[in-house]
Structure 1
Amino acid sequence: MVAGLDLSGRITAQPLTAARFAAFGDVLEVAGAPDKLINQGLCGRHHDRATLDFGPEGRAGISLFDAEPRALPLRLDMVERHPEGSQAFIPMGGDPFLVVVAPDDAGRPGRPEAFLTAPGQAVNYHRNTWHGVLTPLHAPGLFAVVDRIGSTPNLEEHWFDTPYEVVAP
């Protein structure tokens, strides 16, 4: 087995950690002491936790997504990427969700990896990172999404010839 993928095309979802996810983006979570205390000392600010990138012709936008929950095992037949900007998914509930990413291999996705978030975690995909679609595992699938708003194309999809199967650990 290689990084959660066995030779049959089955991907075992791993717990999401900043170290495991660093090549693909940022894990957003409250961990450790806050960078500073604000609001009369009643609020810890964990400052500047994501590398947001909206390209030269884009701007930041916040959208709300309402996604249908899915279940594991999951058939993974497509990934996408956004060449013009980063994309952050911030759950508006406390439930974990599935994160799928793949390294770039000469303009195509390499072997996918899958992660399960812990409650309170969010992700920010770096610009041009291959990733699966939003995959909540519980209702409601409400997310705030911070991504690029602009007039140039910013979506590329790749459909796998042979789908993968993502399974729980």
Structure 2
Amino acid sequence: MTGARIIYTEPLTAAAFAPFGDLLDTQGKPDKIINQGFCGRYHDRATLDFGPEGRAGISLFKAEPRALPLTLDLVERHPEGTQAFIPMSMDPFLIIVAPDMGGTPGTPRAFVSAAGQAINYHRAIWHGVLTPLHAPGLFAVVDRIGASPNLEEHWFEPPYEIRQNRE
């Protein structure tokens, strides 16, 4: 892609993703053993925020799988609430985020999840669209339901190209 800026993927870790949101996974020991000892509960893993006029909603998204390299020309953010993406399969997906630089996104970062990982974007975090890397691309999404506007978009010119990590 001529004129594109190149970004390489990186593994999704709690520390690397912390400026943008919460990593949801089952690393370490569970907080509690429940259900007659057959289930570990990993308790309260995300900071959910739906603003004063919103409420939590659970939706299902089914997105077409994408492949790398990927052209990144659009990011969005939701100023009124958090947004959690929970894959309904054990397949990895691509997570694109960018820091806010005075109302516009800075240089994006691209993470690839491991099987069993989910994420929660904090309020007003610039992020790419839902990008599964494998079918079925089915996700449970917990986000804000409300009447006030909750979407801002930014188009990159020139776009970025996201490539697989150089390892």
Tell me the SS of whatever aligns to 1:20: helix
- CA–CA distance in structure 1, aligned partners of residues 83 and 105 of structure 2: 17
Paired residue for 1:167? Answer: 163
- SS of the aligned residue for 2:28 comes to coil
Aligned length: 162
Question: 1:9 Cα shift?
Answer: 1.3
1:14 aligns with 2:30: no
Q: CA deviation at 1:81?
A: 0.1
Rounded to whole Å, the distance in 2 between the matches of 1:121 and 1:108 is 28
Question: Which of 143, 147, 155 does residue 151 from structure 2 map onto?
Answer: 155
- Do structure 1's residue 133 and structure 2's residue 126 form an aligned pair? no
Q: Normalised by the size of structure 2, how large is the TM-score?
A: 0.96
Structure-1-length-normalised TM-score = 0.95
Q: Superposition pairs for residues 37-56 of structure 1, below 5 Å?
A: 37-56=33-52
- Segments of 5+ residues of structure 1 without an aligned counterpart are 1-7
Compute the RMSD of aligned alpha carbons.
Answer: 0.6
Matches within 5 A, 1:68-147: 68-147=64-143
1:74 CA drift (Å): 0.2
2:31 aligned with 1:35, yes or no? yes
- The one-letter amino acid paired with 2:8 is T
Q: Which amino acid aligns with 2:5?
A: G
Once residues 90 and 157 of structure 2 are traced to their aligned partners in structure 1, the CA distance between those partners, rounded to angstroms, is 35
Gap regions ≥5 residues in structure 2: none
The CA distance in 2 between the partners of 1:38 and 1:94, in whole Å, is 23
Q: Which amino acid aligns with 2:28?
A: G
Task: Point out 4+ residue stretches in structure 1 off by more than 2 angstroms.
Answer: none
